[in-house]
Structure 1
Amino acid sequence: SIYVQEVENSKLREKVLHAEPLYIDLIRDLGARKGEREWNVGFGLTDNNKYDEYLALVEYEWAPMDRLGLEVELPFSLYYRNTADATAPKSKLNSLKIAGQYSFYVSQKNKTSMAIGYINEFELNELNNFGSESVFIGNVYNPFFVAAKRWGNNFHTLLYTGPAISQHFSTKSFHTSWQINSNFHYMIPKTRNFIGIELNKEVHQSDFDMTIRPQMRVEISESLLIGIVTGIPIKRENERFSTFLRLIYEPKHK
């Protein structure tokens, strides 16, 4: 593949091309090179039983050094009731997310990369409570591990897993769930376009939830891509179908 050669046949530090998930995205590429950066804007809609949730996010990713990626993200949620007597959460800026990811293993010979990372999510209060209550209502601590392998030039697999530990300041309680996200993609030869599926699984005590997310990514220009994701819940009590759109702007790496 021409695009594989562009990424890997370089005088820069070794890097392997991987197709990465669009819904639970990574903190920069695996094997990121110093100076790489990327803007993401996302829009989503989730159909719940009693209300609809509209999601928007803005995130910035950059690599201050080889193999280290950093990210800042602001996710927003807007809620609308499906019926007049239904109750729905209040719309708000959900949190401030900061994250880092380090690729500790990158092998072009084995077409494999592995990384560890950490996301800290500062959960925010509702806007109308600012001033009368604390701005931050909780913390989510999320260490994670990523392993990815390319099979030939076009088939890609990736595993993303780790615990999400939620701390609620008002009750001083902690809750832990495990995220296990597996991904399978096929990248169209000579392009950055791909089709694939993302399996987002969450385990909390004896409860198991999974959402299947078929997806595709299309290159609009050299610096702009668009990702389209559909969510199909399996064994979710309150959530129905969802859609998600991600715009990816990656300035040329100097």
Structure 2
Amino acid sequence: MTKAFLLLGLLLISGFGFAQEDKELQNEIKDSLYIQEIENKSNPDKVLHAEPLFIDLIRDLGARKGEKEWNVGMGLTDNGNYDRYTALVEYEWAPVDRLGLEVELPFSFYYPIQGNTTAPGSKLNSLKVAAQYSFYVSEKHKTSMALGYIHEIELNEFKQYQSSPWITGFVYNPFFVAAKRWGNNFHTLLYTGPVVVHHFDKKSQDLFWQINSNFHYMISGTRNFVGIELNKVATGKDFDMTIRPQMRVGIADNFMVGIVTGIPINRENERFSSFLRLIYEPGHTKKH
């Protein structure tokens, strides 16, 4: 009887082990097929990279002609004396291989916290247009690099439209992106560049640097990932960093949801924040 139980136990353990190995093999096959779908040899070279969710890219690195994507974002930030609710709508597309274009409308709505009476005025922050060109794409080295430029036309608060000019300034932001995938699952990405803000009313300019480093792990057998953005802003006298843990979950073949939490290292400007991004890819269909 004892031998029979031992034999049964060994069979169950063996069966569990085989099941685990089979599941891992299936996930590995799915990973390979998905990467193969992105890095299709019949098309221009493209490497699968995990894209950050808070400060995202203009378009996938190595974008191919005809790709397009809609994003809707919603966020909440605790600024101490008031809460800031944000919303954005953006459309990005690739008119030719490796070139991505984007148009974005970002909104901010401010509400004083109980006990406070003042808060900035709600507004459409700007009309943002951007372009990004991937000048280096290597499937062999699993590496991509791109240069881009964002131009923002800053707008006044809604309540000032009748008494003041609608346009209050320009923002100039050239940037550089470098990304590498390590194996099938691990992804790193650097996004950096200067930001120049030209204020019309003050006839002055502000300059600061964005340095955003990103680390992600794409879960085997899915398009889902978990990761972290380190959003850093540096000026001549100050340095701020916000840590943004995040995850992306695929709801359908062409629809994903991104969830982000913001944890500032220095709370002089803002406290904790949250952000939700809805990602819709028209025309995207699963090929496997």
| Alpha-carbon distance between aligned partners in 1 of 2:116 and 2:279, rounded to the nearest angstrom | 39
Q: In 1, Cα distance between the equivalents of 2:50 and 2:253?
A: 17
Corresponding position of 1:45: 76
- Alignment correspondent of 1:154: 185
User: Equivalents in 1 of 2:116, 2:220: separation in Å?
Assistant: 52
Corresponding residue of 2:147: 116
Residues 43-90 of structure 1: CA distance to partner in whole angstroms, max 9, x if unpaired?
Answer: 000011100000000000000000000000000111111133342101
- Structure 1's consecutive aligned runs of 4 or more residues displaced over 3 angstroms after TM superposition are none
Counterpart for residue 64 of structure 1? 95
Larger fraction in helix: 2
Letter in 2 for 1:152: G
Matched ranges for 1:29-44 at <5 A:
29-44=60-75
Give the counterpart of 1:95 among 110, 113, 126: 126
RMSD of aligned residue pairs (Cα, Å): 1.1
TM-score, scaled to structure 2: 0.86
TM-score (norm 1): 0.98
How many Å separate the matches in 2 of 1:253 and 1:196? 24
Q: Distance in 2 between matches of 1:180 and 1:188?
A: 26
Higher Rg = 2
How many residues of Structure 1 are paired with residues of Structure 2 in the alignment? 254
2:116 counterpart of 1:85: yes
Higher strand share: 1
Structure with the larger RCO, 1 or 2 (CA within 8 Å, 6+ apart): 1
Letter in 2 for 1:199: L
* 142-151 or 235-244: bigger deviation: 235-244
Separation of aligned partners in 2, 1:25 and 1:101? 12
Q: Which runs of 5+ in 1 are unaligned?
A: none
Letter in 1 for 2:283: K
The secondary structure found in structure 1 opposite 2:193 is: strand
Are 2:100 and 1:106 aligned?
no
C-alpha contact (below 8 Å) 1:51/1:86 kept by paired residues: no
Return the offset for 1:10.
3.8
| SS of residue paired to 1:43 | strand
User: 1:34, 1:236 → 2: CA distance?
Assistant: 43
Task: Flag the 1:86–1:15 CA change in 2: closer, same or farther, 3 A.
Answer: same
Distance in 1 of aligned mates of 2:139 and 2:64: 15
